[in-house]
A and B are shown apart, each in its own frame.
Chain A
Amino acid sequence: MEASRSLFIPVILGTARMGRMSLHAAHLVTEELGKCAGVETDLIDIAKLPLPTNDAGEAIKQADFSAKMSKADALVVVSPEYNHGYSGLLKHVLDSCLKEYIHKAVGIVGVSAGPFGGTRVIQNLLPVMRELGLVTIFWDVNFSSVQKVFNEDGTLLDESYIRRIDKFLKELIWMAKTLRQGRARISLD
């Protein structure tokens, strides 16, 4: 039965920049998601998606990414803040799907070297998520001064993030379960 199927909540790492500290944040969130009962996850690194850049939108849909978005009940987007915005490649990847996202939950993890923890990139991503048909939750995770949160090999130096991620994931999972029921059972008509 649909209700007994595990939730699938992939984590999208939204940067291809060399030396990206967001990779450590994405690994941590994926690891914590993997500990949640009834949840399957996967880390999707946009740097590894073979999307062309001579076109855009659903015309460049990539089969494996599309299949994962179709299977997903919710998404986590881990995004660094570059010049107050998200990476162009993240937008390019997100725009390659549409129907795959409709009425699914999304939580955003902001990452920055400065003190604001990606709050501005999160605010910039919210209208994009809305237009894609995703339903945003009201918990975020903000990795401020990320170079002090992880050491170079990705070891977490500040355990307080575990509790913040736990609260974020609980809200995301609740929304994912609720929207799964809504998609399957509640009609517009």
Chain B
Amino acid sequence: MNHHCDKIVYNVDAHDAGKTDPSLGGFIEEFHTCPECGGGASRHA
């Protein structure tokens, strides 16, 4: 998978509070694409 994008996601739910990077004010979601089929996936960094 090719990691081609990071997006900052600002927490709105209390259960996500622990994931927050204090230097960014939210958490990073990584986006990946398969070089073979073009399918995408994402995950919390």
Count of CB-CB pairs between chains A and B under 8 Å: 52
CA distance A5 to B33 in the complex (A): 15
A61-73 vs B, CB cutoff 8 Å, 1 = contact: the mask equals 0000000001001
B42 at the interface (CB under 8 A from A): yes
A81 at the interface (CB under 8 A from B): no
Dominant secondary structure of chain B at its interface with chain A: strand
Q: Give B contacts to A, CB under 8 Å.
A: 2-7, 29, 31, 33-42
A-B contact pairs, 29 of them (CB 8 A): A1-B36, A2-B36, A2-B38, A70-B40, A99-B29, A99-B31, A99-B42, A100-B40, A102-B4, A102-B7, A102-B31, A102-B40, A102-B42, A103-B4, A103-B5, A103-B33, A180-B38, A183-B33, A183-B38, A183-B40, A184-B33, A184-B38, A185-B2, A186-B2, A186-B4, A187-B4, A188-B3, A188-B4, A189-B3
